[in-house]
């Protein structure tokens, strides 16, 4: 008997068993307990979901946007009522510490409130026509059916970034959550259902990425794919969905750095490094996995940083005294450890951590010791590739210019941070750091929902989640001309 009921698909407003009859296990990374099972669906289940979405969208697009927004407002209220319970579930199935899990649910609440406001905005433009007795405007219209594919590291926040703007704009959604976090996905769907979202506007199909996700890329009934996850999977999605002329929005990996200049407040920088590098066990796309420090401040920074890293408490995220939870699964643990061995082989100095933790109850979960490397060269693989774990690479540089070069010298471009008291360098850094997000005197994490979120280079493909920018992914511009002159008027010709 499992602790939770099976996570079934939600199609056309009803919970449905998968046509495959197959299920996968949902494992708590803190202790290996099987919490429950999720529907291991197939393409037929996806077909049903897309059909339900298309039917529902035909009516939903005609509901006035301020009415659509009322559902979002109720979503915010219901999430607030269930905040602690959903946060606990989230911690149990993906491992982040409970305080962060609460913060993540809050992010979904904030997004629901913000996007509810869009119900009375969704601004278009009116502009004068070049001809007399003629009116010109552009309006946002829904794209149709949006396919959402999400990862496990922010199972409700990322789903909220994508589903809420899609729905308020008049689209219907088919969502494939990550297989590691089905309970959080189910809770979010229950909230939408209780909030009164009409049947079929949001559908969830659980399943394997290469099966259900892959089928979404080819399904003619899906117009947009919005994805967050690894760059490798994102590249695959872009090529397949692009070949089918779907709009594709991708948020992918990061190799984010915190630059600490010699004039910085080092204690503040250390606080930020700890939070950015080891929060969510380093499994955030915005996690800091590199510190670039001016050589003259390196020793002082490391002297402050190391005892703080060694004092971090690792354990089950449900324990409020714990700072760092487990990583998501055994394969993640093995990947992190491979990178650490590689770092040692490449000649970096392992200052602390660098091993799986198996003492006492930790043996049953997937725990890795918070790790610091120093003496890292920018061309080492540990300084270039996304490790997605609690591993930090410290690199010394000789100038501000070199720091910027090292920051930019990776294939990713999500988040960057700089600590300095020099206002001139702050503004140069704001200009020259080639990432989608820049923080000054703060770590690399902590995005707020009303600003665009996303990155450059291999992190993204030019779109943004969050803020007003999200609406560009989920709406088409429709340009409308109304000629009330009563005669044929030819633009560019009759008036020139
Ligand atoms: P993936 O990118 O493979 O998974 C993200 C989502 O995509 C999941 O829902 C997954 O399904 C789905 N998916 C997988 N294959 C396909 C496909 N062929 N077509 C459509 N959808 C697909 O990441 P992983 O979870 O496997 O993690 C691997 C690595 O990716 C991590 O170690 C980390 O480096 C990086 N990553 C980065 C994230 C970020 O925020 N930048 C988030 C997550 C991972 P499912 O997994 O359920 O089968």
User: Mutation test of ligand 1: which of 23, 211, 215, 233 has the most ligand atoms closer than 8 Å to its C-beta?
Assistant: 233
Q: Which residues contact 251 (CB under 8 A, 6 or more apart)?
A: 158, 227, 228, 229, 234, 285, 453, 454, 455, 459, 460, 465
* Residue range 471-490: mean pLDDT, rounded: 98
Helices (H), 143-262: 157-168, 182-194, 214-218, 231-243
* Residue range 379-404: mean pLDDT, rounded: 98
Known catalytic residue: 251? Answer: yes
Instruction: Give percent above pLDDT 90 in the chain.
Output: 100
Q: Measuring CA to CA, which residue among 363, 331, 334 is closest to residue 180? A: 331
Give the closest residue (by CA) to ligand 1 atom 10.
209
Distance 233 CA to ligand 1 centre (A): 6
* Residue range 154-177: mean pLDDT, rounded: 98
pLDDT of residue 452: 97
Query: Tell me: the pLDDT tens digits for 20-35?
Result: 999 999 999 999 999 9
Give the closest residue (by CA) to ligand 1 atom 20.
213
* Residue range 93-107: mean pLDDT, rounded: 98
pLDDT of residue 182: 98
* Residue range 103-107: mean pLDDT, rounded: 98
Q: Tell me the domains of the chain and their CATH numbers.
A: 9-252+460-479 (3.40.605.10), 256-440 (3.40.309.10)
Residues with CB under 6 A from ligand 1: 149-153, 176, 178-179, 208-210, 213-214, 217, 228-230, 233, 236-237, 252-253, 285, 332, 386, 388
* Residue range 412-438: mean pLDDT, rounded: 98
Q: What gap in Å lies between CA 53 and CA 205, rounded to an integer?
A: 12
Query: Tell me: the pLDDT tens digits for 171-199?
Result: 999 999 999 999 999 999 999 999 999 99
Query: Tell me: the pLDDT tens digits for 290-306?
Result: 999 999 999 999 999 99
Phi-psi region of 122 (alpha: psi -120 to 50; beta: other; left: phi over 0): left
pTM: predicted TM-score of the whole model, two decimal places: 0.98
Distance 120 CA to ligand 1 centre (A): 35
* Residue range 472-476: mean pLDDT, rounded: 98
pLDDT of residue 194: 98
Q: What gap in Å lies between CA 463 and CA 343, rounded to an integer?
A: 33
Is the pLDDT score of 1 beyond 90? no
pLDDT of residue 214: 98
């Amino acid at each position: 008997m499992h602790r939770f009921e099976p996570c079934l698909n939600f199609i056309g407003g009803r919970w449905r068993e998968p046509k495959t009859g197959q299920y996968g296990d949902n494992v708590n990374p803190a202790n290996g307990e099987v919490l429950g099972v999720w529907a291991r669906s197939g393409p037929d289940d996806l077909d049903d979901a897309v059909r339900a979405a298309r039917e529902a969208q035909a009516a939903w697009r005609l509901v006035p946007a301020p009415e659509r927004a009322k559902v979002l407002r109720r979503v915010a209220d219901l999430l607030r009522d269930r905040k602690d319970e959903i946060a606990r579930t989230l911690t149990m199935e993906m491992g982040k510490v409970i305080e962060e899990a609460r913060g993540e649910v809050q992010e979904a609440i904030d997004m629901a409130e913000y996007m509810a406001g869009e119900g009375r905005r969704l601004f278009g433009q009116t502009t004068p026509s070049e001809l007399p007795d003629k009116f010109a405007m552009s309006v946002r219209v829904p794209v149709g059916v949006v396919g959402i594919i999400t990862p496990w590291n922010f199972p409700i926040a990322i789903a909220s970034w994508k589903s809420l703007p899609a729905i308020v704009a008049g689209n219907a959604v088919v969502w494939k959550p990550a297989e590691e976090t089905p309970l959080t996905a189910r809770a979010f769907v229950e909230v939408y259902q209780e909030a009164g979202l009409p049947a079929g506007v949001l559908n969830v199909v659980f399943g394997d990425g290469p099966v259900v996700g892959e089928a979404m890329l080819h399904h003619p009934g899906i117009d947009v794919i919005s994805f967050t996850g690894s760059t490798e999977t994102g590249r695959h999605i872009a090529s397949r969905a692009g070949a089918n002329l779907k709009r594709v929005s991708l948020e992918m990996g990061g190799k984010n750095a915190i630059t600490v200049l010699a004039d910085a407040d080092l204690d503040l920088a250390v606080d930020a490094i700890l939070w950015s590098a080891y929060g969510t066990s380093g499994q955030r796309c915005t996690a800091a996995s590199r510190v670039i420090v001016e050589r003259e401040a390196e020793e002082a920074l490391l002297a402050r940083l190391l005892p703080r890293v060694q004092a971090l408490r690792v354990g089950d995220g449900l324990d409020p005294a714990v700072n760092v939870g487990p990583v998501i699964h055994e394969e993640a643990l093995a990947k992190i450890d491979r990178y650490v061995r590689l770092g040692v082989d490449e000649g970096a100095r392992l200052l602390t951590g660098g091993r799986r933790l198996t003492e006492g109850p930790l043996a049953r979960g997937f725990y890795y010791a918070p790790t610091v490397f120093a003496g890292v060269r920018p061309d080492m693989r540990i300084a270039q590739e996304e490790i997605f774990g609690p591993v930090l690479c410290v690199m010394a540089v000789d100038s501000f210019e070199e720091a910027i070069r090292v920051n930019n010298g990776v294939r990713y471009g999500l988040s960057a941070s700089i600590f300095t008291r020099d206002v001139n360098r702050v503004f140069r850094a704001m200009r020259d750091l080639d990432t989608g997000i820049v923080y000054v005197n703060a770590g690399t994490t902590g995005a707020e929902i009303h600003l665009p979120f996303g990155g450059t280079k291999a992190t993204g493909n030019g779109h943004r989640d969050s803020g007003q920018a999200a609406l560009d992914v989920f709406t088409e511009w429709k340009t409308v001309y109304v000629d009330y002159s009563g005669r044929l008027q030819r633009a560019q010709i009759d008036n020139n």
